[in-house]
Chain A
Amino acid sequence: MSSAAGLKAHQVTRTFTEAGAVLDPISLAIQPGEFVSILGPSGCGKSTFLRMAAGLDHPTSGKLDVECPRTDPFRSFVFQESHLLPWSTVLRNVMLPLELMGIEKEEAKAKAANALKRVGLGDALKRFPAQLSGGMKMRVSVARALVTEPSFLLLDEPFSALDELNRHALQDELREIWETSRPTILFVTHSVSEAVFLSNRVIVFSKRPARLLLDTHVNLPDHREASLRTTAEFSRELKSIYSRVSYEEAPL
């Protein structure tokens, strides 16, 4: 992940035929290697923005550029649910992105096994998704995103369906991945504490059509451990965000 990607959005809007405008003109820039969270109420358009950043959707007007020196697919996406191929084993699921990119099978296998080891599933390679718990499935999904060593990692409320223990464990792992490899990460969530714990910068979107309400730096150390969640400085950062966003504009 040597070459992280940057993003520049200028006056980006998106209008759907049935739902109407979901984004007021949004302008923001993300520097290579940043870990940014987008916070916002349900249905505010944050996922739409994320899909456009992933190149899966396009702005109705304005300009959204993602710059990266790499020419291969350098973006990875983690969905709200794990979305694994039910007929493939855990290992085959994680090999999938590499296979789609035309990478040779043995190499793909080695990389996939490695990515699974990284999320603590090194001994579940031969199992099928139906045999895994929700937390394990999400781990496989994260491993599938990491296997291509992405320069830009996009996550759409990935841990919201998990119980608290699993959610915290996966947050810890994601943060550690960022600390060691420093890809650019754009993380969409509706949980303020998740955003504060994970990222270095928090952006708050208003209710639909989304406007930029807040764009702030998180004043916490770069290296974060599970125990940070119970410290005074962590609650101070939480309060600071709550105090600067009115409930009417963004019910968080």
Chain B
Amino acid sequence: MSRTTLTQFVGRVLPPLAPMLIWTFGMELLVRKGIVDAWIIPAPFDVLASMWNDRSEIFAATGQTLISALAGLGFSFVIGSFVAVLLAAFPWFRRAFYPYAVFFQTVPIIALAPILVIWFGFGTPTVIASSFIVSVFPIIASTLLGLESTDPALVDLFRLYRAPRFQFLVKLKIPFALPQVFSGLRIAAGLAVIGAIVGEFIGGGGLGALVDAARSQQRIDKVFAAVLISSVLGVILVGSVNLLSAWVLGPWHASENKKL
């Protein structure tokens, strides 16, 4: 690594790292000195220690939450984009169902979760349903917006050559919508993790249940450990969507490539 690339690397990595280091060591100091009570905010190194001591339990819970969130996000993507295509294609379908799609955005999931338990029982299906409900709307809304932002001149061009309806969708509308689909997916990815954890609070399993149990045992270090892991999980999911988006849109879309 040459001197300039090293400087660049430090310049990029240091700014986001600095607040975390300051927080970690500062908090550690405040708790050790007794200025902040450990039962309000645990010492960061206690959190790390609890993460290590309960690693097998936390690891299993994280895997469970990840699978539920991925399944919820997967259902959201498949069902959400299919619904958006129908909404864009048929005005009557849109008038009939779009108001109900908005319902998914506004529903208080914490209130709905007990109903999900009645329907799906305790366990994974309830968690996946909760994750799906929370994450489906951004995908519907963004995909719909994307499908409707098609360049009207290109619509004319397709009409001029009498393109069949299916070609309109596959060769024009869907590719045009892709950047919007990804921005919806990015929002949905974070929400899918939240939805899964909320579902687990009521439906059991995963990091949600682990947080709930640790709270009732007054294990605040463990609560913090689980919360930390769950936000890392969200970041990983959103990051994966970003990678996918760069891979798909990379060669042509302005949002992914400024160099062209």
Contacts and interface: CB of A to CB of B under 8 A. Distances in A.
Chain A binding surface SS class? loop
A79 B156 CA distance: 10
Interface residues of A, number: 24
Chain B binding surface SS class? helix
B175 A83 contact: no
Contact of A54 (B154, B160, B172, B254): B160
A141 B257 CA distance: 23
B160 A77 contact: yes
Task: Indicate the size class of the contact surface on chain B.
Answer: 20 to 34
Interface in B203-257: 251-254, 257
A83 B171 CA distance: 14
Contact of B175 (A85, A101, A129, A130): A85
A128 B163 contact: no
Contacts of A79: 153, 156
Given A85-B175, A128-B252, A100 B163 contact: yes
B167 interface: yes
A83 B260 contact: no
Contact of A77 (B156, B172, B254): B156
Contact of B162 (A54, A96, A101, A131): A101
B14 interface: no
A83 B156 CA distance: 11
Contacts of A81: 153
Nearest to B154: A83
B151 A130 contact: no
A4 to B, nearest CB: 17
Interface string B25-65: 00000000000000000000000000000000000000000
Interface string A133-156: 000000000000000100000000
Which of B158, B161, B178, B260 counts the most chain A CB atoms within 10 A? B161
Nearest to A55: B160
Interface in B57-116: none
Contacts of B163: 100
Interface of A: 51, 54-56, 73, 75-77, 79, 81, 83, 85-87, 96-97, 99-101, 128-131, 148
What 7 A-B pairs are tightest by C-beta distance, nearest first? A100-B161, A100-B163, A83-B153, A130-B260, A87-B252, A86-B252, A73-B161
